Amino acid sequence: MIIMDTTPEINLEKIKKQAVVFESENLEFRTYLKNYAHSKQIDIMVQRLNGIYSNAIDCTQCGNCCKELQPSLAENDIAFMASVKNCSVQQFENEHTQYDELDKYRFMKSQPCLFLKEKKCSIYENRPASCDEYPHLNKPDFKYRLKSVLANYELCPIVYNVVEALKKETHFKK
Ligand code: SF4
Ligand code: SF4
């Protein structure tokens, strides 16, 4: 079993550059992982690594997902956010949200998120479930979700470090 053997990489500029350098390697890793082990075994490895790196990386010193992504919002999120902003739900929807291409899901319009203060969420205790669940590493069938996981590799240090540690743990040859 590999315990974290290096300090996690948290330099966002460096991670972004590495994502370009490792682009084709990461595609090869997707294929490699599909044949490496049963999906449940990989999920166990990923969840352990996620625990290690989530503890080692301080999200309040990062906040990059709140700058770069637009969280999806449920009705109760919008109602709560409207109450924080002291406006009606309708006004909040009109001014601060937008639908996805299929008009199915509502997302926060602003980037960075208007509730991000410096690098911290100002409504952390009541943040949307989509924010709480990010970066979605604990969901099942990681190896079949690697394409969507890799979309977050360049912007989330937790994802970056977990994927790089998983390469080592599964003896993937770079
Ligand atoms: S609601 Fe909070 S956690 Fe979610 S994107 Fe905005 S600042 Fe980040
Ligand atoms: S979840 Fe990832 S991108 Fe978001 S604040 Fe934490 S380390 Fe940064």
pLDDT, mean of each 10-residue run, the chain (174 residues): 72 97 96 92 97 96 96 96 97 94 85 95 96 95 94 97 97 90
3-state secondary structure of 2: coil
Q: Give the C-alpha separation, 63 to 52, whole Å.
A: 19
Give yes or no: residues 76 and 126 share one domain: yes
From ligand 1's centre to the CA of 29, what distance in Å? Answer: 31
Q: Give the C-alpha separation, 29 to 86, whole Å.
A: 48
Q: Is residue 5 part of a domain?
A: no
3-state secondary structure of 22: coil
According to DSSP, the residues that pair with 117 across neighbouring strands are: 120
Q: Are the C-beta atoms of 8 and 56 separated by less than 8 Å?
A: yes
Q: Is the CB of 64 under 6 A from ligand 2?
A: yes
Q: Is residue 2 part of a domain?
A: no
pLDDT at 4: 59
From ligand 2's centre to the CA of 62, what distance in Å? Answer: 6
pLDDT at 104: 78
From ligand 1's centre to the CA of 116, what distance in Å? Answer: 6
Q: Is residue 141 part of a domain?
A: yes
Q: Is residue 3 part of a domain?
A: no
Give yes or no: residues 89 and 113 share one domain: yes
Q: Is residue 4 part of a domain?
A: no
Give the chain's domain count.
2
Orientation of helix 157-169 relative to helix 12-21, angle to 10°: 50
pLDDT at 100: 85
CA distances from 22 to 7, 35, 112, 169 (A): 20, 20, 27, 17
Name the residue of 131, 136, 152, 155 whose CB sits within 8 Å of the most ligand 1 atoms, as the mutation to test its pocket.
131
From ligand 1's centre to the CA of 117, what distance in Å? Answer: 9
According to DSSP, the residues that pair with 79 across neighbouring strands are: none
Q: Is residue 1 part of a domain?
A: no
Give yes or no: residues 106 and 143 share one domain: no
Q: Provide the sign of the torsion angle of the four alpha carbons 116, 122, 128, 129, taken in this order.
A: positive
Q: Give the C-alpha separation, 34 to 16, whole Å.
A: 25
Two tokens, residue 157: 């240090």
Q: Provide the sign of the torsion angle of the four alpha carbons 70, 17, 56, 33, taken in this order.
A: positive
pLDDT at 102: 75
pLDDT at 22: 96
Give yes or no: residues 74 and 114 share one domain: yes
Domain that holds residue 54: 12-62+135-169
Ligand nearest to the CA of 116: 1
Give yes or no: residues 125 and 139 share one domain: no
Comparing CA positions, the residue from 39, 42, 53, 38 lying closest to residue 3 is 53
Q: Which residue has the tokens 């590799």?
A: 153
Give yes or no: residues 96 and 144 share one domain: no
Compute the residue count for the chain. 174
pTM of the full structure: 0.92
Give yes or no: residues 81 and 41 share one domain: no
Q: Is residue 104 part of a domain?
A: yes
pLDDT at 44: 97
